[in-house]
Chains A and B, each alone.
Chain A
Amino acid sequence: MALDPTAVGLALVGAGIAIGAAGIGTGIAQAQIGAAAVGATAEDPKMFGKGLTLMVLPETIVIFGFVVAFLIYGLV
């Protein structure tokens, strides 16, 4: 369907914000967890696996952003 170019533009900006904001959120969360994980691994290399697991936990947030972005992208 033919959409108003401004609307399309805004939708795309929205998609961008979705993924960008999600990324920032993930970043903040991961900064803390990552610092903690590195701390634990510095003392005990065996903690690497656990640290990694915990560190990638917030990544789902950015995936949400990605999915939302694509849903918006699919709509336009």
Chain B
Amino acid sequence: MLKPEEMTRVVVVGSIESLDATIECLYELGVLHLIDFTEQDEEFRIGQPLPTASDTSQKLLKLRSIIRSLEIEDHKPARAMHVHDIRSRMDQALVTLDLNTSSKADSRQKIQALVREKEGEIRALEPIVPFAIPVELFDGYDNLSSFVGICKTDPSAALTSKVAECEVFADARKSDVVVVAFVKSEGRTEASKILAEHGFQEIKLPKVKGDPDEIVVQLRKQIKELEADLARIEADLDAIRKQFADFIISSDEHLSIEILKAETPLRIATSANSFIIDGWAPSHRVDEIRTALDTMCCGLAFIETVSPEKSEETPVKLKNPKPVKPFEFFINLVSTPKYEEIDPTLVLFITFPLFFGFMIGDLGFGLSLVVLGAMIRWKFKSSPDLLKLGAIILAGGFMASVFGLFVFAEAFGVPFHPPVENPDEHSWEVIANIPIHPLLDKMRDSMEMIAISLVAGWIHLTVGFTFGFVNHYPHSKKHAVGKIAWLLVLFGLFAEMMVIAGDATQTSHFMNSTVLSPIPDVSADMIGIKVSMPALGLIVAGVLGIVVFEGAMALTEVVGVFTNLVSYARLAAMAIGKGAVAVAFNFMLFPMIFESGNIVVAILGVLALFVSQAFFVFFIGALSSGIQAIRLNYVEFFLKFFEGGGTEFSPLSYERKYSVITK
């Protein structure tokens, strides 16, 4: 938590004969993050690929082209194939497949192109069918220029009046006009100008002879025949697919793994007699590598730990407890943190559901989201990203339910009890009397909502600046102290805003009793605004600190802190906005359901309610609240401390799903 897994810089050295075995061993373990060797010199050069690489590459190229021809990229074999079988069948199968598929795929492609071509011709011919003139008569005259095309508006009148000796045929269709115009060559430019004004688009007629009507019919027939051919080829391909798909996918996986290993030397420094593998490994697994190398490489390769040089990029493997882990998704979406940086996943784990829950703040929607999240996790077990997303939605939905139940006391935009000010409003009292009363009313306690948002923002930003302090402390004490100056500004601004807000909402018990009590009431009126002296003092001290530690240029960003704080008002804005829309819908639909007395209307009303609710839950609610909740983290929070750009820990490893190897 907060810190990634501890890494140790290691070097594996060995004699060149043991390179194969070492690579095999490292892939088997899957814990060494290789650093690519790039600086070649006289002594050490990048290694040669293992001898199998060329042959394997050739096969893979063929195989992948076959996969493409057969369109089986997404095929998933039912069971894994044994590597022995793959090896023994490979050559034979490749020959057969190569012969069968490529020619079939080729002719399929050709027929498809032909069909497209013919369809294009039909498209070109169809507009001129009504004229019933043989196609060859449309152009090819010595002294006549012909225009065939589609205009937005009818140009006949303009043409006949302005161009001498022209013949225009027009066929008006739904939204445009098909125009055929014959003009003496002299009037060509004038005519094309007029046509352009009418939005003329030329139709390129195919070089055919005869009645367009008949030709179209013929073309249709030809297309039918071609499609029949296509179906036959498709059937043939299907047979091949049935027989070989499993084998092909398994082989592709196996060969890809082979090539991965065979080309690893390209990332390694080798000399005539030895090799050096540079890398990182999780500290607690170094010994594991040592033992494995000893047993698998017969003492020809060794691992040494070295103390890293300063500038080196340590790969980052985030380390978080299982419930927090899904929120790493959000981190990876932006950038991997640097090794020395604080990993903010834990904060996301806390704040995201809170923000999200506050914005949705509805038991009904919340529970729907819980169900949605659970369903995603259940349906998409194989996709790690979707699994994480499911967990995030689940957590958000849970917090939304909590807020909905205990704070806002409402479900599906309908309160448990009608508000005191408006006893006639629809509520769940119609169905059941839930013994929970709202602490806050979205619509009526808007100032409190904003204040709570700002408090959340204040806490969130404080954590952000603190992280910034911790991140900077090891390499720049000055910058670290600068963060404290920023904190002072933040505290001052926050206190001042609270004072103003408290002033504006004097009636609010929440504001006065909870938020304002810690701030000493020493204030003065300035230009009509109540300014708290302690707050002012904090801001001044902070600004001075910023000038000293970060330079005068940083002053421009003081406004930024203010913006950041206000930005949290979006929490309230989303909650209020969403609440208002839900109320509006319910206001329109409820009378239909309860008061119409007509069962059909009632059912329609319920349906409309469901549709609108679904819309709000999944689009406005989940999507935009999610975006807002994550934005507050990305923009307001991360920018205070997060640099990112770290290297993700990606050890030498592979995954066998469709092929098995037994020793």
Contact = CB atoms under 8 A, between A and B. Distances in A.
A64 B573 CA distance: 10
Interface in B426-453: 446-447, 450
A63 B566 contact: yes
Contacts of A52: 333, 627, 630-631, 634
B627 A63 contact: no
A56 B631 contact: yes
A50 B334 contact: yes
Contacts of A48: 333
A59 B334 CA distance: 19
Interface in B316-360: 330, 332-335
Contact of A70 (B334, B450, B563): B450
Among A53, A64, A73, A74, residue most surrounded by chain B Cβ atoms (within 10 Å)? A53
A57 B628 CA distance: 10
Interface in B455-503: none
Contact of A53 (B450, B569, B634): B634
Interface in A27-59: 48-50, 52-53, 56-57, 59
Contact of B569 (A67, A73, A75): A67
Given A67-B450, A67-B566, A56 B627 contact: yes
A56 B569 contact: no
Interface in B232-254: none
Contacts of A56: 627-628, 631, 634-635
Interface in B557-584: 563, 566-567, 569-570, 573
A48 B330 CA distance: 11
Interface in B592-647: 627-628, 630-631, 634-635
Which range holds the interface residue count of chain A?
A: 10 to 19
Contact of A59 (B450, B570, B630): B570
B566 A74 contact: no
A70 B447 contact: yes
Contacts of B573: 63, 66
A71 B330 CA distance: 34
Given A50-B334, A53-B634, A53-B635, A60 B563 contact: yes
Interface string B253-270: 000000000000000000
Contacts of B446: 70, 73-74
Given A53-B635, A59-B631, A74 B505 contact: yes
A66 B569 contact: yes
A59 B628 CA distance: 9
Contacts of B570: 59-60, 63, 66
B354 to A, nearest CB: 18
Given A52-B627, A74-B504, A74-B505, A63 B635 contact: no
A38 to B, nearest CB: 15
Contacts of A70: 446-447, 450
B52 to A, nearest CB: 32
B447 A74 contact: yes
B566 A49 contact: no
Given A49-B333, A52-B627, A60 B567 contact: yes
Contacts of B333: 48-50, 52
A49 B447 contact: no
A71 to B, nearest CB: 7
A67 B569 CA distance: 7
Given A63-B573, A70-B447, A53 B566 contact: no
A53 B447 contact: no
A49 B563 CA distance: 22
Contact of A60 (B334, B504, B566): B566
A67 B566 CA distance: 8
A53 B567 contact: no
Which 10 pairs across A and B sit closest by C-beta, in order of nearness? A49-B333, A56-B631, A53-B634, A66-B573, A60-B567, A49-B334, A63-B570, A67-B569, A63-B569, A74-B504
Interface of A: 48-50, 52-53, 56-57, 59-60, 63-64, 66-67, 70-71, 73-75
Interface of B: 330, 332-335, 446-447, 450, 504-505, 563, 566-567, 569-570, 573, 627-628, 630-631, 634-635
Given A49-B330, A49-B335, A70-B450, 5 more contacts: A52-B631, A60-B563, A66-B570, A67-B450, A67-B566
